[in-house]
Chain A
């Protein structure tokens, strides 16, 4: 278990690549069991923010805590608690679905590992394809497998970077159903362009633009209202 009042907290988070600032003083707090959806145009810094929270990359400045652990100093502790789903499946193409789960799952202490793998594959409706090479699977099926792999160690905190990207209707429905079933006991931070899916699942909403949080609300606005808010907040030219 983690520590601290918030599941995720950033104070004055900054990051720049070369001379280009990507995140400028991000302050966010997500409580235990809350679902935050971050919207924003392309290049707003959403993926960079998730990459820092998931310990992929170092923060450039400020403080970042995940489950009370400092992302700069306690990465290994954080990695045991989190799961990450991206639009990029990050799967090994020349391994089967089962082998992909087996390989990554072996790095976590998952009790009753084989049954857990079977259960999770059934949950994403992929048990029948457990022996299929990933290279033979469609994108939507791979994305479902990536979801299964992420949930294998039952992470407390989930980071979802455009998870609906490329998913067909069935895949999107499975993901929505899984996320909906986890809402009660997991903390989720999701970035998406999909206003419908993003708003239907979340408790809190934030809009990121040019590396800054330009809107944050602890209450979920109505869809029509949110579109107006989004258009008024986002200064970049490529808003959705």
Chain B
């Protein structure tokens, strides 16, 4: 059977309103569909989900496939992945995009396996090439390279995308979309996993994500002791401290400070980056920083090329120098 040209986006609303990844992916799907010609569709499983259906339509979905049933009230990995697989077999979408929440990261691989197709994790961008194939752009080979990946034969083409990668479209109150109510199959197998307790424990929003000034330190800070100086600087500047993965792995700072694909996205007015090389997994999280000051002794580090101001210097000495200068300059 020939596949349709539609692009599907899995509707992950469990933490809506905070988690906006579905809306973000819809926005990019709208973009992609202008060159492929297919429809942008959202998939919604759950019970009493009209609110989300409306939300997805207002954010770009032209069609929403809905399964609404009390048995779908809880997010169940086994059930949801079976249902998505069945729908995909029935309607043959060209592409399925899933938000890389923990749930999405567990579900997408299972669906891809059932559909015998490929899946690219954590795309930082998605494009359509001249043949209409989905180009899945993702970091690879440890961080300094980006790969363009395709799924040449199997369908659908599948990818996951981390929250914060794309920008959602504004809410369109006039948007209209088609809602397709899908019946729940009656041969749903019994779940082999039972939820005993579930408690909503929102992680405290890290200040670093909202901070106007972020000071990031990398391995170039040299040691845990020297890294500490960044906290003094942060105190003076009313800033938050972030770090790269080697720094977190070396336990110079807790993993809550990790900035990058595996950690937090930041959007400060000013980012000061000390002794960081600029691997893509780190810089992917910096795209919304307004003004970047990088300090590195290697003028050719990618972080230095990205920066608005690149200071070629020893990171520790520069940190101490800036602290000293600020102490003199801050008016009492």
- Are A and B part of the same complex? no
| Chain B interface (Cβ < 8 Å from any Cβ of A) | none
* Chain A interfacial positions (CB closer than 8 Å to B): none
